[in-house]
Amino acid sequence: PTTLLPYSERIQLHTNPTAKRILEIMDRKKTNLAVSVDVTTAEEALEVVRRVGESVCMVKTHCDIIEDFTLAFSEELVKLSKELDFVIFEDRKFADIGNTVSLQYSSGVHKISSWADLTNAHSVPGPGIIKGLSTVGQPLGRALILLAEMSSSGSLAVDGYTKQTFQMAKDAGREFVVGFIAQSRIDTDISDGEDWLILSPGVGLAAKGDSLGQQYRTPKEVVGDAGADVIIVGRGIYGIKGGEQAVKDEAERYRKEGWKAYEERLQR
């Protein structure tokens, strides 16, 4: 199963260029950390990215919370992603019919497909959502992940929903859909040679959750016990008190924790 293989040996199990690049970066920079940059101005967001860039394989954005979003911002983000060697993941959570999501992905103010290497979608509308997004993203070498589980308490994405989401991805093939947002490896380890990336939000070393339903686990629980590939950390890193150096140090702390959990997993 995938969880016992090093990231480097999983590169060849993918055909999607973004999936390959994620695994290459993880191996090269020794990091399975994604930082979620959930701040509300372009300058703040870029500042966090400059602080954490060396420690991460991925920067996750919510472009619709940035008050002064422009394409100059996304261009700068792309520039930093090349300089500091990380992938850009826009956490858009598309959730509409194929035709609408293809427009939301390519057009509007944000033109997500022009700058985000990776984005995600809910499976609730059915396979047309994958088709619609792939029409836009696949020719550009982009990748998609589906939300199979969520970190928030009371989520309806459980049991049968999770299973059917996995099946929808399998049916679509791995040219464009390369993995899942999930809290576990779901069923992805059952088939050898068919590698899926599992990205897990809800990671924190300090808090257990917030007042709005978020639930946190440690990198050890997420990577070591649950078998996820990428840990996604937001407030635990950009929200740390103590200024710019503290943010940088905290990103390194999470990178080390995540990498240690991965190395221990490989030893089992």
Q: Which residues bind ligand 5FU (CB under 6 A)?
A: 36, 38, 62, 91, 147, 150-152, 181, 201-202, 214, 232-236
Taking CB atoms, the residue at the shortest distance from ligand 5FU is 234
The whole-angstrom separation of Cα 166 and Cα 182 is 11
Nearer to ligand 5FU, 137 or 234 (CB): 234
**Residue 93 bears catalytic tag:** yes
* Per-residue CA distances from 92 to 111, 120, 121, 169, 198 (Å): 12, 6, 7, 18, 17
Shortest spacing between CB 157 and ligand 5FU, in angstroms: 8
Q: Which is nearer to ligand 5FU, 91 or 195 (CB)?
A: 91
Supply the DSSP symbol for 139.
G
Which CB, 20 or 120, lies closer to ligand 5FU?
120
Q: Which of 93, 111, 170, 208 is catalytic?
A: 93
Least distance from ligand 5FU to the Cβ atom of residue 184, Å: 12
Q: Which of 161, 179, 172, 181 is nearest to 131 (CA)?
A: 172
- Is residue 187 within 8 A of residue 222, CB to CB? The reply is no
200 and 120 in contact (C-beta within 8 Å)?
no
Our CB check for ligand 5FU shows the closer of 91 and 229 to be 91
Is 116 in contact with 142 (CB distance < 8 Å)? yes
Element (H, E) at 178: strand 177-181
Q: Closest approach of Cβ 235 to ligand 5FU, in Å?
A: 3
Comparing CB distances to ligand 5FU, the nearer of 132 and 234 is 234
Distance between alpha carbon 231 and the CA centroid of its chain, in Å? Answer: 8
Burial letters 167-176, b for 16+ CB under 10 A, else e = ebbeebebeb
| Beta carbon of residue 181, minimum distance to ligand 5FU (angstroms, whole number) | 4
Dihedral pair phi/psi, residue 103, rounded to 5°? -75, -40
DSSP-derived 3-state class of residue 128:
helix
Question: Shortest approach of ligand 5FU to residue 62 CB, angstroms?
Answer: 6
**Which positions are annotated as active-site residues?**
93
